Each structure stands twice: as C-alpha cells, then as structure tokens.
C-alpha cells in the first residue's frame, strides 16, 4: 500500500517528510520498509512499516482475519467515493461470511469498490484453497457465479494493475 501511495502521491504528512521519487528518498523508503528501529521515547523511528499502520494513507485493516477485511471493504467507501482493495488468496480462506457480500452490497449507500486479488497460490506455509480448487480459472468461475465480472491482470506489470484499476 505504501509503495502505491508513494507512486500516486497519496502519502500522510509523516511520509511526505521522508519519502519521494528521487534516488535518495526512494533508497530511504526501501531501507525503512522493514526497519524496526525505535526512538528513545519508544516510538518507531520510521513511519513506514511492513504492515498497515496509522501513517498508511488509505490503509484501514490488515491482519490474520482477512475475511473480515473483505467484509469491511464492501461498505468502506461512501456514495460517490471509490476504493481499491488489495487482498491475497490466503485472505479468501478466512471468515467466509464475506462470501455473502455481493448479495447485500447496495449502490444506494456504498461507493464503488474494486477488489484486486493477489494470487500466489500460498497461504502461510501451505497451498491456498484457490490453488487446490483449480487456481485462477476456478476463482474466475466462482466470481462469475456470485455476480462479478473478473478481469485478469499481469501482477508483474504496474501498468497492467493501473489499467485494471481504471477499467
């Protein structure tokens, strides 16, 4: 999330002070990503972390209960707002009450949501359920059965992801 925020200039004030697109600021961004240094007062030395935190512009949830994240993002944007939610295939397996989201999402009181599922076939140290069921072809059919129209993107190409968000 923070890398995308850096590219599209959607950063919190704490990030604006430290990061940018020149060589030195990008180097600092990369160095800070997994930094665990602590200031004398006990606060993190870097506003950037490997997980969503209070300084992450647009980040609201991350953790082991990602099924709840799926459920939450459906109603996160208000009418007229837009949200892009990045989820992993491991997230697909947790708290599956979110399977019902397409049945109760209402355009009247929610904005537009574009969920992007990152498929790597893994969940912690095991194969994901999506991978075991048939991979991306299986997921596409599952989504169609639930009223969605999936778009496949090349996750190795940032331009492909940007195109998918704007489509």
Identify the pLDDT of residue 22: 93
- Among 39-43, 104-108, 129-133, which stretch is predicted with the lowest mean pLDDT? 104-108
Report the DSSP beta bridge partners of residue 127: 122
For residue range 29-38, list pLDDT tens digits in order: 999 887 778 8
Q: 75-111 burial, b for 16+ CB within 10 Å, e for fewer?
A: bbbeeeeebbbbbbbbbbbbeeebeebeeeeeeeebe
Label the pairing between strands 122-123 and 126-127: antiparallel
- Widest distance between CA atoms in the chain: 54
Label the pairing between strands 112-118 and 122-123: unpaired
> 86 in helix, strand or coil?
strand
Instruction: Tell me how far apart the alpha carbons of residues 96 and 76 are, in angstroms, rounded to a whole number.
Output: 18
Report the DSSP beta bridge partners of residue 84: 114
Identify the pLDDT of residue 105: 67
Question: Bigger pLDDT: 147 or 39?
Answer: 39
* pLDDT above 90 coverage of the chain, percent: 10
Quick one: which H or E segment has residue 127? Answer: strand 126-127
Residue with tokens 């355009």: 107
Question: Bigger pLDDT: 75 or 120?
Answer: 120
Q: Where are the domains of the chain?
A: 1-59, 66-166
State the pLDDT confidence band at 57, using cuts at 50, 70 and 90: confident
For residue range 61-115, list pLDDT tens digits in order: 655 555 566 666 776 777 888 878 777 776 666 555 556 666 566 677 778 877 7
Phi/psi of residue 73, nearest 5 degrees? -65, -25
Identify the pLDDT of residue 114: 79
Residue-averaged pLDDT of the chain = 79
Is the distance from CB of 69 to CB of 61 less than 8 angstroms? yes
State the pLDDT confidence band at 28, using cuts at 50, 70 and 90: very high
Integer CA distances (angstroms), 164 to 54, 117, 139, 154, 160, in order: 27, 12, 17, 10, 6
Identify the pLDDT of residue 137: 94
Instruction: Tell me how far apart the alpha carbons of residues 10 and 43 are, in angstroms, rounded to a whole number.
Output: 23
């Amino acid at each position: 999330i923070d890398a995308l925020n850096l590219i599209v200039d959607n950063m919190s004030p704490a990030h604006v002070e430290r990061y940018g697109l020149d060589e030195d600021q990008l180097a600092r961004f990369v160095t800070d990503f997994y930094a665990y240094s602590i200031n004398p007062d006990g606060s993190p030395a870097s506003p950037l972390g490997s997980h969503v935190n209070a300084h992450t512009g647009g980040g609201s949830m991350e953790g082991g209960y990602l099924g709840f994240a799926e459920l939450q993002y459906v109603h996160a944007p208000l009418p007229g707002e837009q949200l892009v939610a990045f989820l992993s295939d491991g997230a697909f397996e947790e708290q599956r009450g979110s399977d019902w989201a397409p049945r109760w999402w209402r355009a009247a009181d929610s904005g537009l949501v574009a969920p992007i599922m990152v498929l790597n076939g893994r969940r912690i140290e095991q194969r994901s359920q999506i991978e075991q069921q048939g991979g991306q072809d299986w997921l596409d059919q599952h989504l169609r059965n639930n009223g969605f129209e999936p778009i496949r993107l090349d996750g190795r190409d940032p331009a492909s992801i940007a195109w998918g968000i704007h489509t």
